Structure 1
Amino acid sequence: MFCKRLVQAATIALAVTLPATGWAQQVLKVGSTPTGIPFTFLDTKTNSIQGLMVDLITEIGKDAGFQVQIEPMQFSTLVASLTSNKIDIISAAMFATSARKEVIDFSDAVYTYGEGLVVPATDKKDYATQEDLKGEVVGAQVGTAFVDALKKTGLFAEVKVYDNIPDILRDVNTGRLKAGFADYPILAYNLKQGNFPEVRLVESYKPVTVGTVAIGVRKGDPDLLKKINTSLAKLKADGTVEKILGKWGLKAQGA
């Protein structure tokens, strides 16, 4: 009888001291892309996805009490992977557009920017608007907000759609494409690495499609969204977000 009571007491004590099941035990799958540097990219040295959005969701997870497992995938498959439960979170260079908000939910703002314009380095024209490229063949990345926006203008002879931004840069670099439109920070970071010496980022260009990068979750996960927003606000307030942005060459924004 004494032994039985001892076992019962030990069991109760263990139940009290062990953490409750739930967020602390959860490993959430996070969809990120291998070609969105500095937001997300494949680090060939470690064969893992790294970048600003990986650092951010990792810190959010630490604060909110869940672990993250980064799942590499193409940008165009992120939303479908989330809604089909293949992943639990999207943390990439994805704009929280009105069309996407009809399908998934987004966190509060992480970073705001518009499209950048790249042309061959031999093209010295100071392009200011899309009208300056009327009748030309241009390129943009599949699944981004830029593709439909460019096509709707009716300005271009063709809007070629590419799987990723490095492919756009390669075609501009070799002269096969007159101009390319893509996420300004990603273009700027790629060109700073010197991998596309024959490409020029047009600083005189004024973006048209300006959006806000945010973290995506399923519409059926309001508790997860609340946890992410709470932790994101905390990390903004204590300077963690600013530190992460600075690590990847971006300046913190007001808001």
Structure 2
Amino acid sequence: MPFKNRLISSLAAAAASMGFAALSTSAMADQLADIKAKGSLVCGVLGTSKPFSFPNPQTREIQGYDVDFCSAVAKSLGVKLEIKPISVAARIPELTQKRIDVIAANLGWTAERAQQIAYSDAYYVALQKVAVKRGAFARSTDLAGKRVSATKGSTSEIAIRAFLPTATPVTFQDPPPAFLALQQGKVDGFVVTEMVLVQLKAQSEADHPIDILEPPLAEEFWGIGMRKEETALIGHVNKTLRQMEASGEAARIFDKWMGAGTDFKMKRGFVVKPIQG
């Protein structure tokens, strides 16, 4: 083949290859279309955090606040919901490695996480608080220089380091062993969201009573986690959340799991809105 023809052929092949790569990149970045095409939304939840995601005692299916928000997003897309329980430490890796589509798993906003993934508008606002044995301490600031437990890699651990810098964080894979460490006297305090502490306080009142101290260590904004490049999905999720707020559905989900008719008897003091880093 003459050199000129070989050059033209090579350029054409290169152009075709570049075009294919561009199409592939575009397809990979259109997760919203992929979800609709496969007919399901895979939502990562903790599965062990009542009332956000936990097993139904009768059916053993995972239910809760986070699950209802995942369900609403799936419904808005016209697809079925697939729930995948994940650990705290695995939340972001499961998402970035594309084993789940979105995260709704007690995922508090942090600057470090926001560099890795995209957050939806805040659909829940949690307070990080300290639990101690009954009568041991009066205020959360009294834990300075003490041993304090938390879930490894969680915003609770971050709150200890930020607001109790002289305390020693003692971390565990999940909240139950971190709380057990407090009950066994291995640590002086245990940090987790107020919601979890309300439940643990009720459960332990008879044998291991605790106090929940003020002031809170931090205010934590929870969002649905998504991959940064998936702008269409991010836009759709935020649109759905805002519609849920406007229609009252978001408030009804809160009341269903945490309101006056539940063991928690909490009031909703927030609205769905963008997270301001």
TM-score if structure 2 supplies the norm length?
A: 0.76
Partner-residue secondary structure (3-state), 2:90: helix
Please, what is the CA RMSD of the aligned residues?
A: 2.3
Q: Retained in 2: the 8 A contact 1:111–1:253? A: no
Task: Trace 1:94-133 onto structure 2 (pairs within 5 A).
Answer: 94-121=107-134, 123-127=135-139, 129-130=140-141, 132-133=142-143
How far, CA to CA, are the matches of 2:148 and 2:239 in structure 1? 41
Matched, 1:233 2:247: no
Match of 1:38 among 36, 51, 56: 51
Match of 1:154 among 141, 145, 165: 165
Cα distance, 1:90–1:133 mapped onto 2, change above 3 Å: same
Shift of 1:150: 1.8
* One-letter identity of the residue aligned with 1:148: I
How far, CA to CA, are the matches of 1:21 and 1:219 in structure 2? 16
Q: Retained in 1: the 8 A contact 2:35–2:41? A: no
Cα distance, 1:244–1:201 mapped onto 2, change above 3 Å: farther
Shift of 1:136: 1.5
How far, CA to CA, are the matches of 1:24 and 1:192 in structure 2? 45
Shift of 1:24: 7.0
Q: Gaps spanning 5+ residues in structure 1: where?
A: 1-19
* One-letter identity of the residue aligned with 1:173: Q
* One-letter identity of the residue aligned with 1:155: T
Q: Gaps spanning 5+ residues in structure 2: where?
A: 1-32, 259-265, 272-277
Partner-residue secondary structure (3-state), 1:168: helix
Tell me the residue number matched to 2:194: 184
Cα distance, 1:243–1:144 mapped onto 2, change above 3 Å: same
How far, CA to CA, are the matches of 1:21 and 1:224 in structure 2? 10
Shift of 1:67: 2.2
Match of 1:82 among 82, 95, 110: 95
Superposed CA deviations along residues 43-97 of structure 1, whole A, max 9, x for unmatched, are 3532332210001110222123232200011111010000000111001111122
How far, CA to CA, are the matches of 2:175 and 2:35 in structure 1? 38
Match of 2:268 among 236, 248, 252: 252
Shift of 1:234: 0.9
Cα distance, 1:43–1:174 mapped onto 2, change above 3 Å: farther
Cα distance, 1:23–1:99 mapped onto 2, change above 3 Å: same
Q: Retained in 2: the 8 A contact 1:118–1:201? A: yes
Cα distance, 1:196–1:88 mapped onto 2, change above 3 Å: farther
How far, CA to CA, are the matches of 1:221 and 1:199 in structure 2? 46
Tell me the residue number matched to 1:168: 178
TM-score if structure 1 supplies the norm length?
A: 0.82
How far, CA to CA, are the matches of 1:22 and 1:146 in structure 2? 33
Match of 1:205 among 211, 214, 224: 214
